[in-house]
Amino acid sequence: MLKMTIAVLATALLATTALAKDGIRFHQAWPGAPFAESTEVNGILYLSGQIGNDADMKLPDGMEAQARQTMENIKAAVERRGLTMDDVFKCTVMMADMAQWGDFNKIYVTYFKPDRLPARSAFGASGLALGALLEVECMAKLR
């Protein structure tokens, strides 16, 4: 059993290492996706924009529900890289309707400690993937 576990871990490590080129490591989003879920460069994890879709690519109704699912998707992607939300230091928010800023913020701030809120910028967008109400991309410091 130990030999099999070591073989599996070694294979996974080699597969990940094979993705590294010129100090850049790409983490696949899903097979056939036209972008990486995240990219590591010089100790920084750049997370692709996340929307509030579930595993079936469905979006819940309303800003608060989409904000919560978006932040859960970010948290899961960060955790897949062995990090936590405390490692996130910058976010960019794109919103279909800037009038929903307050509804988004009510959810957003619950994912960070009050003294560790990331730097952030936000802007309105005329159209987001799958008709989402918002999209959030983040940067996190690798450990």
pLDDT tens by residue, 53-103: 998 999 999 999 999 999 999 999 999 999 999 999 999 999 999 999 999
Q: How far apart are CA 54 and CA 77, in angstroms?
A: 13
- 12 in a structural domain: no
- 35 in a structural domain: yes
- 3 in a structural domain: no
Helix (H, G, I), strand (E, B) or coil at 60: coil
The domain total for the chain is 1
- 5 in a structural domain: no
pLDDT tens by residue, 7-56: 333 333 333 433 566 889 999 887 888 899 999 999 999 999 999 999 89
* Cβ contact 42:34 at 8 Å: no
CATH number of the domain within which 71 lies: 3.30.1330.40
- 77 in a structural domain: yes
Q: How far apart are CA 139 and CA 67, in angstroms?
A: 18
Q: Which residue has the tokens 């400690």?
A: 113
Q: Residue 84: which domain range? A: 21-141
